[in-house]
C-alpha cells in the first residue's frame, strides 16, 4: 500500500498514474480545491485529519511518500517565525506525524518504506529559500533516526532529491531566476517526471537501499 501525500501536485499525479496499475494507492491532497478520483482532500495543518486517515488504514507493506512542498521565499533576515513554522508544518511535520503512526504498523508487518521528497536546491541551500530548506533538511535527521532505530524491523528510509520540473513552484519563479537555475544543470533543461516512479519502485523492492539521498536532478550544481 503506497500512501502518497500531496497527491494534488503535478509530479504526484504523474507518479500515481505510473504506479496505480501495480500497487494499491492511498492519495491525500492538501489542496481543498483539487478534485481527483480517489483523492482525499484534507487540511494538513490539522494533524487530527491526517492522523485519522493513517490510523484507519488496514493493509500490508506500507510505503509513505510525501510530495508536499511549501516555500515562503524570503531572505534570511526577512524571514519571520510565522513563515518558518508554516514551512516546517508542511515540509517536515507531516513526515514526523506519519512516522509515529505508521512505524508500529510497519513493525507488525516487518516491512516499511519512507520516501521523503526533497529538492537538490533545498538540500544544497540557495538564496531566498531559508525556511523551505530548513524544513526539507529536517527530514534528513528524521530519516537517520528511522534507519538507526527501526531498520531491524525491515523498515527503510530514503530521500529523493529532485531537480527542476515544470510544476507550479517552477512557474512561480521569474524568468531571470529560471535561466540562472537551468544554467546550473549540465544539459540545460527541465527534468522528466517519468524518472520518479521507477526510482520509487527500486526503493520499494531493494532493502539494501537505506538512508540514501538519490538525486534525480540531471546533475544540478
Least confident of 112-126, 129-143, 162-176: 162-176
Cα within 13 Å of Cα(20), Cβ side: 14
Angle at CA of residue 152, ends 150 and 156, nearest 5°: 60
Query: Measured between alpha carbons, how far is 23 from 43 in angstroms, rounded to an integer?
Result: 25
- Architecture of the domain delimited by 2-216: 3-Layer(aba) Sandwich (3.40)
Of residues 56, 96, 89, 45, the one with CA closest to residue 71 = 89
pTM of the shown model: 0.88
Instruction: Report how far residue 85's alpha carbon sits from residue 83's, in angstroms, rounded to the nearest whole number.
Output: 5
Question: What does the pLDDT read at residue 85?
Answer: 66
- Residues in contact with 126: Cβ distance below 8 Å, sequence separation at least 6, in sequence order: 133
Question: Could you state, in order of their start, the residue ranges of all structural domains in the chain?
Answer: 2-216
Whole-angstrom distance, CA of residue 165 vs CA of residue 216: 10
Encode burial over 63-95: b for 16+ CB neighbours within 10 A, e otherwise.
Answer: bbbbbbbbbbbbeeeebeeebbebbbbbbbbbb
Q: Tens digit of pLDDT for each residue in 140-176?
A: 999 999 999 999 999 999 999 998 888 777 787 889 8
pLDDT for 54-64, tens place per residue? Answer: 999 998 899 99
Average pLDDT over residues 124-135: 77
pLDDT per residue over 198-215, tens digit each?
999 999 999 999 999 999
Report pLDDT for 156: 98
Amino acid at each position: 500500500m503506497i500512501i502518497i501525500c500531496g497527491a494534488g501536485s503535478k509530479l504526484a499525479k504523474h507518479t500515481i498514474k505510473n504506479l496505480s496499475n501495480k500497487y494499491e494507492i492511498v492519495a491525500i491532497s492538501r489542496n481543498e480545491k483539487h478534485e481527483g478520483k480517489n483523492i482525499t482532500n484534507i487540511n494538513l495543518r490539522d494533524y487530527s485529519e491526517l492522523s485519522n486517515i493513517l490510523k484507519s488504514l488496514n493493509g500490508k507493506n506500507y510505503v509513505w511518500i510525501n510530495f508536499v512542498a511549501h516555500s515562503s521565499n524570503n531572505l534570511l533576515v526577512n524571514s519571520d517565525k510565522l513563515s518558518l513554522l508554516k514551512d516546517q508544518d508542511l515540509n517536515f511535520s507531516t513526515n514526523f506525524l506519519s512516522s509515529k503512526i505508521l512505524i508500529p504498523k510497519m513493525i507488525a508487518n516487518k516491512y516499511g518504506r519512507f520516501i521523503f521528497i526533497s529538492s537538490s536546491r533545498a538540500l544544497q541551500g540557495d538564496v531566498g529559500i531559508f525556511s523551505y530548506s530548513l524544513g526539507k533538511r529536517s527530514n534528513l535527521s528524521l530519516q537517520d533516526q528511522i534507519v538507526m532505530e527501526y531498520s531491524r524491523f525491515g523498515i527503510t528510509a530514503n530521500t529523493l532529491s529532485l531537480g527542476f520540473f515544470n510544476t507550479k513552484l517552477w512557474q512561480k519563479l521569474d524568468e531571470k531566476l529560471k535561466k540562472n537555475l537551468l544554467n546550473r544543470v549540465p544539459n540545460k533543461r527541465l527534468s522528466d517526471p517519468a524518472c520518479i516512479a521507477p526510482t520509487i519502485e527500486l526503493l520499494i523492492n531493494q532493502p539494501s537501499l537505506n538512508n540514501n539521498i538519490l538525486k534525480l536532478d540531471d546533475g544540478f550544481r
